[in-house]
Amino acid sequence: MNSQIRYFAEAGPRSRPVPQYMEQPRMAVRSENKVPRLVACVDDGEQANAISDHALAIACSLGLEVTFARVIEAPGHFASPADPIEWQLRRRVQHEDLSKFANQDEVEVRANSVLLAGNPAEEITDWAQGHGATMLAIGRRRSDKTRGLGSTAQALLDRADHSLLLVPPGPPGEAGYRRIMVPIDGSTRADSVLPIARRIARTHAADLILVHIVPRLEVVGASRVPQLEQLRSQIDVHNKRNAVQHLDELRRRSIEDGVDVKTITRGPGDPRSMLRELAIEQKADLIVMASHGNTGLDDVPCGSVAEYLAGHAPVPLLIVRPNIKCSFGHEASNCRNASVFRFEE
């Protein structure tokens, strides 16, 4: 385990001269640091422990190294220069607190920490891209009616650079997972997250819940369509039949991979709200889903369902980007298994 500090001289705006008292030797970014890793963004709030627990649980399953990252505002971001002694003290305190996450006795994965300075979303993204990160973990804020994403989490979601683990507010739960829900919509992209979900399920001896919500059929000019309800009913029956067949096939493959699987088909209805309700009903403790589904629009950071659950899921949500490539075998996994992730730029 090790810790790193990225100094203000490296993180500050390039167009402004760095104050003399802040100049420090820069840390070189070495190519060997580009190992598959998960960057857990933790602040000094009470939610940090929950983020840490979930980040370690996911990293354990997928063979990822964990870097605990924290971003503090650099002196150059203030209207007037900060007191150099106060700034150095603040940085030292933050670094010592951050290092505690990587140095926990019970941590079974390779872990380290890095203290950054500047704009949180920009600094986290830049560091992650330079050090082989495939995933980021960050907390959500508490919200009932509005979206529960803070500005940093929203910016990371919109950048679409990394897969994202979003942890809702609340105290840390039991270590590991028992019921993992995977939304399926019949698309190849939605199916592609199953190797990841199965690997997590095997590590934690969890059950998979594969869910397909048949969307509500929208008809323009409905009042002019004869026998509309009959036509709508026929299409709903057809979609449900195909959904059931597809889930049965996925269930068979997962059982062959040594994972207990339950399948649920619901609808027609709004997949966004119905998935949220199902997660509560089924007592899921993790949702794993693709960032894009049937629509598969490449010019948006994620689909409408993933975007809704990002701010409203009642449990941690792992959004898997399409630039994550993986292939997992049938072996029983543990926290020291080599990662088989490959991250495409």
Q: What CA–CA distance (Å, rounded) separates 131 from 222?
A: 54
Which one-letter amino acid corresponds to residue 146? T
> What's the pLDDT at 14?
32
HEC profile of 103-117: CCCCCCCCEEEEEEE
pLDDT reported for residue 258: 83
Cis-peptide, bond into residue 268, ω within 30° of zero: yes
The pLDDT tens digits of the residues spanning 42-59 come to 987 888 999 999 999 999
Which residues does 80 contact at the CB level (< 8 Å), separation at least 6?
none
**Residue 182's beta-bridge partner residues?**
210
Contact residues for 167 (Cβ-Cβ < 8 A; gap 6+): 47, 50, 51, 54, 137, 138, 139, 140, 316
Contact 308, 271 (CB under 8 A): no
The whole-number pLDDT of residue 271 equals 95
Pairing of strands 179-183, 207-215: parallel
156 contacts 71 by C-beta, under 8 angstroms: no
3-state secondary structure of 132: coil
Strands 207-215 and 261-269: parallel
At 48 the pLDDT is 92
Ranges of residues in the chain with a pLDDT under 50 are 1-32, 78-79, 144-145, 327-333, 340, 342-345
Integer Cα distance of 153 and 284 in angstroms: 22
Residue 323 to residues 107, 341, 342, Cα–Cα distance (Å): 28, 10, 9
* Phi-psi group of 186: left, alpha or beta (phi > 0 → left; psi -120 to 50 → alpha; rest → beta): left
What are the φ and ψ backbone dihedral angles of 66, each rounded to 5 degrees?
A: -110, 130
List of residues 6+ apart from 78 with CB closer than 8 A: none
pTM (two decimals): 0.82
Domains in the chain with CATH codes? 2-343 (3.40.50.12370)
- Over the range 278-308, which residues count as b (16 or more CB within 10 Å of their CB) and which as e? bbeeeebbbbbbbbbbeeeeeeebbbebbbb
Question: Quick one: pLDDT at residue 343?
Answer: 45
The pLDDT value recorded for residue 230 is: 79
The pLDDT score that the predictor gives to residue 144 is 46
66-84 burial code (b ≥16 CB/10 A, e <16):
bbbbbbbebbbeeeeebee
8 Rama class: left (phi>0) / alpha (psi -120 to 50) / beta: alpha
Q: 266 with 274: CB under 8 angstroms?
A: yes
What pLDDT is recorded for position 300? 79
